[in-house]
Amino acid sequence: MIGRSVLVAVGLGVSQANPIDWADYTFEKFVAEHNKVYKIEEFTKRYNLFQDSLETVRTHNAEYAKGEHTWWMNMNHLADSTEEELKRLRGHKKGAAWSLETSVDNTKLSADQLPASVDWRTHKGGKVTPVKNQGGCGSCWAFSATESVESAYAIATGKLIELAPQTYVSCLKNPDQCGGTGGCEGAIAELGFNYSKTMGIAAAADYPYTGKDDACKKYTPAVKVGGYVKLPANDANALAAALATKGPVSISVAAGGLGWQLYGGGVMTGCKNTDIDHAVQAVGYGASGGKSYWIVRNSWGPGWGEKGYIRLNRDMDSTISTDTNPGDGGGCKGGPTSIKIAGECGVLSDSSYPTGVTDAVTNVVV
């Protein structure tokens, strides 16, 4: 329904019976399904963006139906987004925390020592919290760090609790401009781990997410960590070993382009972007239909991808590319002008996980 100043949409529970068939999908259905509200002056722009996305999805999915792809696209809530809005969603512009001190995990496991599959969503009762939505704030790095601290705490204690990414967004300083300038303007997960070592992170209920650069408020930390460990860059065995023996891992990817924006399901292949710009969390790996993949948790809501997750093809694990803009949009001062990245969408470029989880209330390391 179009009002005098805005388009008001009421959710009608519109859904597709077939996840790849969008033959009868319209802008009106999209607006209703996703509760979209537009200012009257942006209506045409949003309509055109929707139509472009719909054409892309229909074309790609028709090719998928013919067996030309291993993944399909979806007309999700991002289908009317501008490139600037999508850039803000990614909010992470660097492949490594070059100026930070940390230890390196060089654990290697042979193929027969590695489990055939690992999935921390279900492994040992499940050690990941529900998928969240970062909204229009470039806080992917804060969600990635928070999720890995949550998982490490759950593995150590058996207690799965939800922590507050807003702690990092509002309170963490980023003077070296690693991954951005901080808050909604981007940073890196490693900074979150470092911050949690001294200041801890609040429980989600005590520090609700606003998706804004709000001033830091006083809080009682729920969890602290002793530090973090980095994995060797571009090493598939190292990531698989960490997932098998340690738990979920914070990683960085190149998430630009229509593939990530409109990903609906299946094993993502053909990622051509080499600009590392998004922080997410690897929660496992597996294989299906002859395709091996990494299981990656995103922070764009459960309506994106496979209930908030994406599976990234592992056939590219040994393929090396070059990110020629590692400091694009920010980055640690003094970093290199280019870095080597490996894997589908650069999935192996930058991986780390927190160590020494501490219950901040009892101050007992668990």
Domain range summary for the chain, segments of one domain joined by + = 6-80, 89-365
Report whether 139 contacts 182 (CB < 8 A). Answer: no
Quote the tokens at residue 353: 């996980």
pLDDT tens sequence across 103-142: 666 677 777 889 999 999 999 999 999 999 999 999 999 9
Backbone angles phi, psi at 307, to 5 degrees: 55, 40
Is residue 283's pLDDT more than 60? yes
How far is C-alpha 216 from the chain's CA centre?
24
Tell me, yes or no, if 76 is annotated catalytic.
no
In angstroms, the CA 203 to CA 164 distance is 5
Q: Which of 99-113, 164-178, 260-274 has the lowest mean pLDDT?
A: 99-113
How would residue 326 be classed by pLDDT, with cut points 50, 70 and 90? Answer: low
pLDDT score of 4: 25
Q: What's the Cα-to-Cα distance from 219 to each of 119, 163, 201, rounded to whole Å?
A: 33, 12, 9
pLDDT score of 33: 94
Q: What's the Cα-to-Cα distance from 273 to each of 83, 276, 305, 321, rounded to whole Å?
A: 14, 8, 18, 10
Catalytic residue of the set 140, 171, 178, 184: 140
How far is C-alpha 70 from the chain's CA centre?
21
Report whether 305 contacts 264 (CB < 8 A). Answer: yes
Report whether 323 contacts 274 (CB < 8 A). Answer: yes
| Rg over CA atoms, the chain | 20
Quote the tokens at residue 101: 């001190």
In angstroms, the CA 341 to CA 326 distance is 10
In angstroms, the CA 325 to CA 62 distance is 34
Tell me, yes or no, if 216 is annotated catalytic.
no
Tell me, yes or no, if 298 is annotated catalytic.
yes
pLDDT tens sequence across 154-164: 999 999 999 99
pLDDT tens sequence across 47-91: 999 999 999 999 999 999 999 999 999 999 999 999 999 998 887
Residue with the bigger pLDDT between 3 and 68: it is: 68
Quote the tokens at residue 102: 């940390």
Catalytic residue of the set 194, 234, 298, 325: 298
What type of residue is 213?
D
pTM of the model: 0.90
pLDDT score of 119: 98
CATH architecture of the region 89-365: Alpha-Beta Complex (3.90)
Cα angle vertex 135, ends 272, 212, to 5°?
120
In angstroms, the CA 90 to CA 345 distance is 13
